[in-house]
Amino acid sequence: MQRNIAFFSVNNTHIFKQQMLSWANQFSICCFLDNNQYNTQHHSYEWLLAVDADAIFSPSKNILDSLKHFSSTQSDWLFGHLSYDLKNEIENLNSAHSDNVQFPDIFLFQPQTVIQSNGSSIVISSLENEPATIFKTIQKQPTDQVLQHTKRIETKPRIIKEDYCRTIELLRQHIHRGDCYEINFCMEFFAEDVIISPLTVYEKLTAISPNPFSCYYKCYDKYLFCASPERYLKKESNTVISQPIKGTMPRDKQNEYADKINKKRLNESSKERSENVMVVDLVRNDLSKVCKNGTVKVEELFGIYTFPQVHQMISTVSGELEDGVDFTDILRATFPMGSMTGAPKKRVMELIEQYEQSKRGIFSGAVGYISPEKDFDFNVVIRSIMYNATRKYLSYQVGSGITFYSNAKEEYQECLLKAEAIKQVLH
């Protein structure tokens, strides 16, 4: 099916984005991906918006086999998410914990309308509507709308600090016995009987923490407000690139010298480097399953990047795909991402199920797009708020990489640090 395509320019992209999100939120399905002008992160677009669904892929079983057929029949845009629990098909695992947010394991949709931007240039493509009509409708959205006030939301931890620390010690024992080398352990904070204004929450989150893999994602009554700094995987032509994060240090915005010292401490930390190189080796191993021999390489090791709340250690791994490899093959080889699991991956995912208290669902999954050319780009769902409007249930999860040398109290503080922007939004 051919799309109607037209090009437009806007004078104020900030206002246009607000109008566009207000318009998009009228639909039951929408996905807005924003890199917040981090132009050094290998982004193909400044932002992308997809609204309304012409076709939907969201089976509850035989997902990967069905996906292979579905993707082979599609030659248009696809947007949506992969939940962490897609692992259960890839590795024959299970998830028995409660899930009160209830995103499906996979949801991909062919949008009626796609809007993309690089700077002031706007491209609107639509299956049924005229782009000029859509553009005029967006511009008629009020620009002086006041975001709704949100009440202070108090969240509760699914696991208390003392139990968290005991669990870390048990995980260190597993590492000591050789069950695994590193494990990403997460915990949930939640609130019940909560009514929020979704756009207000997203606007506040991205104002406090504008990160390069942010997204506003609405899937019927389920919402994701994401301020992620991490890419899971991007494909462009025959090249795939992954940018795992392992290594975190707080910002000190009040003292520039102290902030530089924190950045230096992260760069020189043997513990953080050890965690980072472990996940890099895992990503290299995953990519080697679908890439040509000798093409998988580490383009950057231990890169230090600064974000509004934290300094992060990010490495970049790339490879050239084997001929005939499709999206499903790549998922089987690489998902879930190593930074949110650990090594060896299958054993670690078993331990995650054993010791965590909540089903991860869309958290530590991925949101992104597949282009008509079969290129794609997906983030890692972290630093995010999940909300089920029907159940009035709000949730966020945080975690850290555990090694034998981890200190339980320090890991707990790192989790709280990662959640700082979310706490500011809710309070």
Each residue of 107-166: pLDDT tens digit?
999 999 999 998 779 999 999 999 999 999 999 998 765 556 668 899 999 999 999 999
Q: How many Cβ atoms from other residues are within 10 Å of residue 131's Cβ? A: 20
1, pLDDT greater than 80: no
Structure tokens at 372: 């008509």
Residues in the chain: 427
Span 63-85, mean pLDDT? Answer: 94
The Cβ-side half-sphere exposure at 67, using a 13 Å CA radius, reads 26
pLDDT, position 142 = 84
How many CA atoms lie less than 13 Å away from 276 in the CB half-sphere?
25
Q: How confident is the model at residue 40 (pLDDT cuts 50, 70, 90)?
A: low
Q: What is the pLDDT of residues 144-156, one digit of tens each?
A: 655 566 688 999 9
* Spatial separation of the C-alpha atoms in residues 328 and 387, rounded to whole Å: 28
Spell out the SS3 assignment of the chain: CCCEEEEEECCCHHHHHHHHHHHHCCCCEEEEEECCCCCCCCCCCCEEEEEEEEEEECCCCCHHHHHHHHHHHCCCCEEEEECHHHHHHHCCCCCCCCCCCCCCCEEEEEEEEEEEEECCEEEEEECCCCHHHHHHHHHCCCCCCCCCCCCCCCCEECCCHHHHHHHHHHHHHHHHHCCCCEEEEEEEEEECCCCCCHHHHHHHHHHHCCCCEEEEEEECCEEEEEEECCEEEEEECCEEEEECEEEEEECCCCCHHHHHHHHHHHHHCHHHHHHHHHHHHHHHHHHHCCECCCCCEEEEEEEEEECCCEEEEEEEEEEEECCCCCHHHHHHHHCCCHHHCEECHHHHHHHHHHHCCCCCCCCCCEEEEECCCCCEEEECCCCEEEEECCCCEEEEEEEEEECCCCCHHHHHHHHHHHCHHHHHHHC
Q: What is the pLDDT of residue 157?
A: 93
Question: Is the pLDDT reported for residue 177 higher than 70?
Answer: yes
pLDDT confidence of residue 309: 87
Per-residue pLDDT tens digits for 195-243: 999 999 999 999 999 999 999 999 999 999 999 999 999 999 999 999 9
Q: What pLDDT is attached to residue 120?
A: 76
What is the average per-residue pLDDT within 274-287? 94
Q: Which of 340, 347, 422, 397 lies closest to 153, judged by CA? A: 422
CA distance 397 to 187: 5
Domains, the chain, ordered by start:
4-143+151-426 (3.60.120.10)
Tell me the mean pLDDT in the region 350-356. Answer: 97
Q: What's the pLDDT band for 400 if we cut at 50, 70, 90?
A: very high
Mean pLDDT value across residues 299-312: 93
Mean pLDDT for 96-104 is 95
pTM: 0.96
